[in-house]
Amino acid sequence: MKKNLLQGGHLVAAAGIFFAILLLVYQIAGRENHRLDLSREKIHSLSPEGREVLKRLSGERITVRAFFADGDPARKEFEMMLREAATHHRRFHFEFLDPDRFPSEAKQFRIDSYRTTVIDGGGREERIQGTAEEAVVNALIRLAHPEVRTICFTTGHGELSFSDTERNGISEWKQVLEDHQFQVREIDLGGGDLSECRAVVVAGPHYEMFPKETEALQKIAKDGKGVLLLIDPMDPGEGKSFQALLKPFGIELGSDVVVDKMSKLVGGDYLIPLVSRYASHPVTARFNAATFLPVARTVNKAKEIRHGVSVTELAFTTPGSWAETDLKKLEKGEAEIDPDSDRPGPLPLAAVSEGRKARVAVVGDSDFIANAHLRLAGNKDLALNLLQWLVRDDRWISIRPPETRFEPLFLKQNQSAWVAVFSIGVLPLTALVTGSLGIVLRRRANRPPGQPPGTGRPGGQSPLDQPAVPDDRAANRRLTNRRRKSVPL
């Protein structure tokens, strides 16, 4: 009995240790939540920018209230994204509220439409509409950096207009800037107040600048503020004021128009060059998306650069492009590369210059930020990256959430035949051979020692050949009776 009690005590102790280990593993798993995303584009993970901004807000409590209808199909995906965010921030909390079921909360947070999310953090509040991760990340950025940076756009030279909502306007670009915590205003270089401008943008001018205006822009850059020039191709002999403006910064504008037949292969136009290669620079450090610049000119590094000025040719076209200098032939649609006068690709369409204080960026096109092309490929991200670099906020370059790519699998004829043979022949045959081998090995393992294969008894004898086993029961009874008689009464 003592032995049984000891064994029972050991069993109870082992069970207690086992459950203690389970509890410890559960506690560790609750605190250290790790997930493995095996998708190539990491579509089930937060973007690096999202993780970075959550890290910067690690000391703040973040509360997310998402007002979605209970049956909204977009709710599940948005909830998965919020759960992923919660794994990177210990004080990240979220809840979903149906405005129809919780009208008091909807009224409290002034909710007037579905899919509205209110994000609180650090005593500040941000609102977003929709389910895009980019919107959430931008809201978190605004919470982390409440400072509003002013971007000034010049007027008076035929530049693109914020008020224009048509294809050639930049009303959407203004909205993007405001969503990224920029304050946008228009200025007059001739007599406007530039003290609040963190950067000045000249977007698609059609007329020359006065010397006073070019001097004002040069002074802005030398004072440590950013200058972004988006200069489209001009007629021969025009644009001299912009050439003079850029000379101190080591950048030259090409008197040409870039032609790229590669764009035709991806559904574009010969005059919409494809940019697929970028130089190593903070602007493009985490940027690898293609961009399209409609009707662009080359932007080149000057041969002679002043001491202390660093120039980088930033974005390049494909090798199949060239810089067309015969604009009249181009207008007739008869452009062909001339080895004597035209410059073959790859060609630089953007360049940046940096001095002791100055930062200047130049792009040989302004249409890529127009409403018709802003959302095309990586156009918006490239423009945002340039502005972030110009205002010296390099922390939030290229906020680009991962996107799912549809890549169907196309098999060649021999590959399809191999798949058919493997699935119909090889796999079933392998299962049959493995099963048969297992049966044979199991029978061999169960056969007594000395028994030849194919027999059921030792020595290979049949039951008729076995000697009869004597019945000892009668002998045992006689022995018992004899012992009883020998016992004295």
pLDDT in tens, 275-298: 989 999 989 887 878 899 999 999
Q: Is beta strand 310-317 parallel, antiparallel or unpaired with respect to 274-278?
A: antiparallel
Give the per-residue pLDDT at 464: 47
CB 92 within 8 A of CB 85: yes
- Give the separation between CA 69 and CA 90, rounded to whole angstroms: 27
Strands lying side by side in the sheet with 62-67: 92-97, 62-67, 116-121, 124-129
- 255 vs 487, residue with greater confidence: 255
pLDDT per residue as tens digits for the range 398-457: 455 555 555 566 667 788 888 888 889 888 999 999 989 988 888 887 777 666 665 555
Listed range (317-321, 334-338, 385-389) with the worst mean pLDDT: 334-338
CA angle 238–311–395, rounded 5-degree value? 115
Largest CA distance in the chain: 150
Q: Is beta strand 310-317 parallel, antiparallel or unpaired with respect to 116-121?
A: unpaired
pTM for the predicted model, two decimal places: 0.62
φ and ψ of 201, to 5 deg: -115, 130
**CATH level 3 topology of 48-128:** Glutaredoxin (3.40.30)
At the fourth CATH level, which superfamily is domain 147-396? Class I glutamine amidotransferase (GATase) domain (3.40.50.880)
Q: How confident is the model at residue 30 (pLDDT cuts 50, 70, 90)?
A: low
CB 324 within 8 A of CB 256: yes
Residue range(s) occupied by CATH 3.40.50.880 in the chain: 147-396
Give the per-residue pLDDT at 5: 66
Task: Give 467's DSSP letter.
Answer: P
Give the per-residue pLDDT at 310: 94
Four-point Cα dihedral 267, 270, 271, 277, nearest 10: 70
User: Does residue 23 carry a pLDDT above 90?
Assistant: no
pLDDT per residue as tens digits for the range 458-476: 544 545 455 555 555 666 6
User: Does residue 107 carry a pLDDT above 70?
Assistant: yes
Q: How confident is the model at residue 104 (pLDDT cuts 50, 70, 90)?
A: very high
In the numeric block, which tokens belong to residue 481?
A: 């009776």
Q: Is beta strand 199-203 parallel, antiparallel or unpaired with respect to 226-230?
A: parallel
The SS3 of residue 336 is coil
CB neighbour list of residue 129: distance below 8 Å, 6 or more residues apart: 113, 115, 116, 117, 135
Sign for the pseudo-dihedral over CA of 162, 165, 168, 173:
positive
- 317 vs 235, residue with greater confidence: 317
Neighbours of 432 (CB within 10 A): 10
Give whole-number Cα distances, 304 to 248, 307, 350, 357, 358, in Å.
10, 10, 18, 20, 18
Q: How confident is the model at residue 489 (pLDDT cuts 50, 70, 90)?
A: very low
Q: How confident is the model at residue 127 (pLDDT cuts 50, 70, 90)?
A: confident
Give the per-residue pLDDT at 184: 93
Q: Find, among 167, 163, 199, the residue nearest to 183 by Cα.
A: 199
Omega prior to 236 cis, within 30 of 0? no
- Give the separation between CA 419 and CA 430, rounded to whole angstroms: 15
Residue range(s) occupied by CATH 3.40.30.10 in the chain: 48-128
- Give the separation between CA 460 and CA 457, rounded to whole angstroms: 6
- Over residues 149-163, the mean pLDDT reads 92
Output 329-333 pairs: Cβ under 8 A, ≥24 positions apart: 330/257, 330/259
**Radius of gyration over every alpha carbon of the chain, rounded to an integer in angstroms:** 39
The SS3 of residue 256 is coil
The rounded mean pLDDT for the chain is 83
